Amino acid sequence: MSFLDASVTVRRPRFQIQTELAVEEGHVLALIGPNGAGKSSLVEALCGLIPIDGGRVVVGGTAWEDVAGRVRLPPQQRSVGVMFQRLALFPKMTALDNVAYGPRSIGASRTQARHAATSVLERLEAADLAGVPAGELSGGQAQKVGLGRALAVEPDLLLLDEPTSQLDVATRMIVRRSLIDVLRDFTGVTVVVTHQPMEAMAVAGEIAVMEEGRITQRGDAKELQLRPRSAYVAEFAGVNLLEGCSTGDRVEIAGGASVAVANAPRGDVFVAIDPNAIALHRTIPEGTPRNVWQLGITDIDLEGDRARVRMTGELTLVAEITRAASTQLRLADKGRVWATTKATQVHVYPR
């Protein structure tokens, strides 16, 4: 049995969570998914703030909740540290008192609690914030204190709900770095809810995708990138995802297009194409690339020296090329382009 072994059903009038979640000791799992997928509700269920309607939550061999066995520990009796989405720091207490609140609540003396809080803040390089009231902290500072408060109780299960959301890019990097540092030494199980692909990949060894209350896919970053199983995951991993029917060397896509593939399984398949593996041309390309589609450019996103080009026609694709190539091809003028890719660059896997 895994250290965290949960099977959670939560029923609400508008949606339902039904999911299994097992994570080994010392591991970090990123939980991603669209808004309203139930990620925050799952966090609340794991820490005991909302009751589950079915299943169980077992951590380190202890049943925190078991509907069949009529076990339900209140949040106070669960060894859990939560960093809430909007932090919920105690606004009038200082940063130090916020972090010391947990240890003090579970039996430490005032001195011990402050000592523990000081050392946690030091680990997060936030010792200078100790005396600042939480209501006066900046976004990044507050996030660190929120993380410190969750860590200070030395929990078996650490739940981080969007730990770097609502931060500017520079601050996000700083908070993320201290998060990575801290999690490296953390021995319990960590579940990080996030919307950011970079964060999920940087912080967690494994990523679980939650859509409409269910875990729809789980794997490491590579797995998600090579074989996304939903439009959300494809978008998250930044790859093109098509669905179709395969004959082994050709996939017929719904909508009429077809994709040449190599050594593919037959039947209903997903087709994943890395945007970097797509080349663009203004004239019909020479030679014999196996896949050529004439498509219209809908828009272009510039990111650093890369350009992400969205095109639509018999199928919809995103290509990623260098900014220089984009300028040379005058893609800003929109219009039609030929998109090509090699059959060997196309990943095909059963649906």
Instruction: Give the nearest distance from C-beta 163 to another protein in angstroms.
Output: 15
User: 3-class DSSP state for residue 15?
Assistant: coil
Segment interacting with another protein (CB under 8 A) among 78-86, 202-210, 217-225, 308-316:
78-86
Instruction: Give the nearest distance from C-beta 90 to another protein in angstroms.
Output: 6
248: left (phi > 0), else alpha (psi -120 to 50), else beta? Answer: left
Measured in degrees and rounded to the nearest 5, phi and psi for residue 290 equal: -70, -30
- By CB under 8 A, name the one of 13, 61, 69, 74 that touches another protein: 74
Do residues 222 and 204 make contact, with C-beta atoms less than 8 angstroms apart?
no
- By CB under 8 A, name the one of 105, 247, 312, 344 that touches another protein: 105
- Of residues 294-323, which lie at the interface with another protein (CB under 8 A)? none
Residue 88 binding another protein, by CB under 8 A: yes
Segment interacting with another protein (CB under 8 A) among 24-32, 43-51, 62-70, 302-310:
43-51
- By CB under 8 A, name the one of 63, 73, 106, 277 that touches another protein: 106
Residue 227 binding another protein, by CB under 8 A: no
Do residues 75 and 28 make contact, with C-beta atoms less than 8 angstroms apart?
no
Give the C-alpha separation, 96 to 299, whole Å.
49
Residue 46 is classified by DSSP as: H
- By CB under 8 A, name the one of 36, 51, 62, 86 that touches another protein: 86
Residue 102 binding another protein, by CB under 8 A: yes
Do residues 175 and 163 make contact, with C-beta atoms less than 8 angstroms apart?
yes
Do residues 82 and 43 make contact, with C-beta atoms less than 8 angstroms apart?
yes
- By CB under 8 A, name the one of 27, 39, 56, 78 that touches another protein: 78
- Of residues 122-161, which lie at the interface with another protein (CB under 8 A)? 149, 153
Task: Specify the residue, 15 or 90, whose C-beta has the smaller distance to another protein.
Answer: 90
Name residue 223's amino acid. Answer: E
Tokens of 212: 């409409």
Instruction: Give the nearest distance from C-beta 186 to another protein in angstroms.
Output: 17
Give the C-alpha separation, 236 to 13, whole Å.
28
Name residue 323's amino acid. Answer: R
- By CB under 8 A, name the one of 42, 45, 58, 82 that touches another protein: 82
- By CB under 8 A, name the one of 38, 48, 140, 244 that touches another protein: 48
Do residues 233 and 56 make contact, with C-beta atoms less than 8 angstroms apart?
no
Task: Specify the residue, 17 or 43, whose C-beta has the smaller distance to another protein.
Answer: 43
CA dihedral 103, 108, 110, 112 (to 10 degrees): -90
Segment interacting with another protein (CB under 8 A) among 69-77, 197-205, 220-228, 242-250:
69-77
Interface size with another protein, residues (CB under 8 A):
23
Do residues 39 and 31 make contact, with C-beta atoms less than 8 angstroms apart?
yes
Task: Specify the residue, 92 or 266, whose C-beta has the smaller distance to another protein.
Answer: 92
Give the C-alpha separation, 348 to 268, whole Å.
10
Name residue 62's amino acid. Answer: T
- By CB under 8 A, name the one of 49, 67, 253, 260 that touches another protein: 49
Tokens of 331: 């893609």
Residue 64 binding another protein, by CB under 8 A: no
Residue 110 binding another protein, by CB under 8 A: no
Binding site for another protein (CB under 8 A): 44, 47-49, 74-76, 78, 80-82, 84, 86, 88-90, 92, 101-102, 105-106, 149, 153
